[in-house]
Structure 1
Amino acid sequence: MTAPLICSIYKSPKKDEMYLYVEKKAQFSKVPEVLLEQFGKPVHVFDMLLKEDKTLARVKAKDVLDSIAEKGFFLQMPPPKEAYMLDAYRAPTQGRY
């Protein structure tokens, strides 16, 4: 069982729905510089006490805790675009309006 920790969550100004979870006291000290450059200037969303049994919207709390313990951070990527949503951006095909 992974120990609970106080976690800070930041969103990326460059990519919608991309979030970076870090231990509050360590902040970005363990996050690779190249990741921070691609992520952009982190925008603080909130802090929370994270335990394995905490329910999160898109990821498992245990996965977040394990990643922070192992790497010092957890990067939550945006969800994949649904195919039906991409249809609105595709060029119309012949005979279709």
Structure 2
Amino acid sequence: MKGDKLLCEIYRSSRKEEMYLYVDKRQGLAEVPEALLERFGKPVLTMTMILTPEKTLARAKVSDVMTAIRDKGYYLQMPPAKEEYLLDLYRTPTEARY
């Protein structure tokens, strides 16, 4: 990867909602470990985009994504953590009042 631009492909997981893999378009999924791909499920191409330091992403820093792709060959974006209070609401039994 030369310069400050990267043509990136973004894949979503077929197994886990809101989990994405970012890879260099030239290498594709070749650098992603087989064990990760097994847990990720079938990668579904979501989009192709040019990453630059000026670009912003919704849940990741572009510099982190570009560094990970340069160093490891991929960047894995995990789903956001659930809000603790929502988990508490889920765990709390509710009464049905009629």
Distance 1:27 1:12 in 2: 15
Superposed structure 1 runs of 4+ greater than 4 Å apart: none
Q: Paired residue for 1:15?
A: 16
Aligned residue identity for 1:72: G
The alignment's TM-score, normalised by the length of structure 2, stands at 0.89
Structure 1 alignment gaps of length 5 or more: none
Over the residues paired in the alignment, what is the CA RMSD in angstroms? 1.4
Distance 1:32 1:53 in 2: 29
Q: Give the Å deviation of 1:83.
A: 1.2
The alignment's TM-score, normalised by the length of structure 1, stands at 0.89
- Bigger shift: 83-92 or 18-27? 83-92
Distance 1:19 1:5 in 2: 17
Structure 2 alignment gaps of length 5 or more: none
Q: Paired residue for 2:83?
A: 82
Distance 2:7 2:66 in 1: 10
